[in-house]
Structure 1
C-alpha cells in the first residue's frame, strides 16, 4: 500500500444545480447491491423522510434481517414475489406476482408521497420480460420531481443506466461462496 498525503483542499467544485429526485442503480455481479440500497433507505429514514422498500423476488412472509429491522424502525418493506425462479413451482404465477408488484410500486412512485422508493431485485423480472422495461422507464421519467428511486439487481438494462443519475456497478473480486463457505444469516440475509 502506498501512503499518501491527505488533501488540504476540496477535490471538486460544489455543484450549483437544483436539488431533485434521483434515479440510482446498483448493478453488477458483486455483493452489496441491496445492502447499498438499504443503507440509502436508512439514511433517508434517519432524516425523517418517508421511504418504502419493494423486494421483487422475496415472498411477502419473508423475515430476513432487513425485514426485522425495517419493521422495528417503521420502514415499510414488501416482498412481492415467490422466490427466485429456480425455486418457483409456476413461472406464470411468478410473472403475475411481478406485474402486480410493479403496479403497486408504480402507483406509489407516481403518488409522490415518498421521498424514496427502493425497487430491490427489479432487474430479474425486467430481464425475464415479466415487467415491461418501457413501462418502468416511462414511470421513472414521469415521477414527481422530488421522488428518489433506487433500483437493484444484476445486469441492469442499458436504457435504465442511461436514464439513471447515478449507476454503481458492484464487481466481485473474491467471494466466500466460491471457497465453499455457505451463506450466513446476518451477511446474506
Structure 2
C-alpha cells in the first residue's frame, strides 16, 4: 500500500452539509484541511462552481498534490435555459463520471462532492445515481456531499448530516459578496 493510501482501520463516513445557510462548502473545506493535515489525500469535485477564482483554489495549489480541487461546473444554474442548460448538464455529467472514477480508484481518503445536492435539485444528476455511487465507495473512504436541499434518500444514506440554517445574511442589507468570505 502506497503512502497516503486509505488506512484499513478507518470507517469511511458519508457526510452531508445542507440547508439554506452559508457555510456548507466552507465546513467541508475545513474538514478537508484537517484531513490533509493528518496526511490524508483529499479531492474536491465542484459540481456547480466554475470560472470564478475562489480563494480556496490558490490555497489548494500551495498544499500540493494531496489536496486537489477540480472546478467542473458552469456557474449559476438556477435560471439556465436552452444551450446554457445543456452546458450545465454536460458539465454535471462530466463531473459525475470523473467523481465516480476517482471514488472507485481508491486513491483518495476524502472526496468532497461540492454542491452535488444542488445538482440533484436541478435535475443535472439523479438521486439514484448518487446513491449508487455512494454504494461503490471503498469502505474506508470518507465522502462529503454539500449543497442545499439534500434529498431524503441521501440524508438516509449518510452517517452524519448537518443543516446550516440562515438566521441573518449581509446580502439582505445590500452588502455584496466579499473576497475571502464568499469567494
TM-score, scaled relative to structure 1: 0.86
What CA distance in whole angstroms lies between the structure 2 residues aligned with 1:152 and 1:54?
Answer: 11
The offset of 1:19, in angstroms, is 4.0
Q: Structure 1: give runs of 5+ residues left out of the alignment.
A: 1-17
The structure 2 residue matched to 1:83, chosen from 75, 87, 112, is 75
What CA distance in whole angstroms lies between the structure 2 residues aligned with 1:125 and 1:166?
Answer: 20
The offset of 1:182, in angstroms, is 1.0
Q: Structure 1: which 4+ aligned runs deviate by more than 4 Å?
A: 86-89
Provide Cα deviations, 1:19-50, integer angstroms capped at 9, x if missing partner.
41000000000111000000010000001100
Secondary structure of 1:77's aligned partner: strand
The structure 1 residue matched to 2:99, chosen from 97, 100, 105, is 105
2:47 matched residue in structure 1: 56
What CA distance in whole angstroms lies between the structure 2 residues aligned with 1:40 and 1:173?
Answer: 23
1:37 matched residue in structure 2: 28
1:70 matched residue in structure 2: 60
Q: Structure 2: give runs of 5+ residues left out of the alignment.
A: 1-8
Provide Cα deviations, 1:115-173, integer angstroms capped at 9, x if missing partner.
00001111121111111211110110221101100010000000000000000000111
Do the aligned partners of 1:26 and 1:170 also contact (CA within 8 Å) in 2? Answer: yes
| Closer/same/farther in 2, CA of residues 44 and 110 from structure 1, 3 Å limit | same
| CA RMSD between the two structures | 1.4
What CA distance in whole angstroms lies between the structure 2 residues aligned with 1:68 and 1:49?
Answer: 19
What CA distance in whole angstroms lies between the structure 2 residues aligned with 1:26 and 1:135?
Answer: 19
What CA distance in whole angstroms lies between the structure 2 residues aligned with 1:183 and 1:117?
Answer: 27
